Amino acid sequence: MINIHVVTRGGSSIHMQADPGRSLMETLREGGIDDIAALCGGNCSCATCHVYLENSALEIGSDEADMLDSLLHQRPNSKLLCQVEVVEGMNDLHVEIAPEE
CATH classification at residue 8: 3.10.20.30
pLDDT score at 46: 92
Domain extent at residue 33: 2-97
- Confidence (pTM): 0.91
pLDDT in tens, 26-82: 999 999 998 999 899 889 999 999 999 986 778 899 999 999 999 999 999 999 999
Q: Using CB atoms within 10 A of its CB, is residue 13 exposed (0-12), middle (13-18) or buried (19+)?
A: exposed
Split into its structural domains, the chain has a count of: 1
pLDDT score at 90: 86
Q: Give long-range contacts, CB 8 A cutoff, 24+ apart: 70-77.
A: 71/47, 71/98, 71/101, 72/101, 73/98, 73/99, 73/101, 74/50, 77/52, 77/53
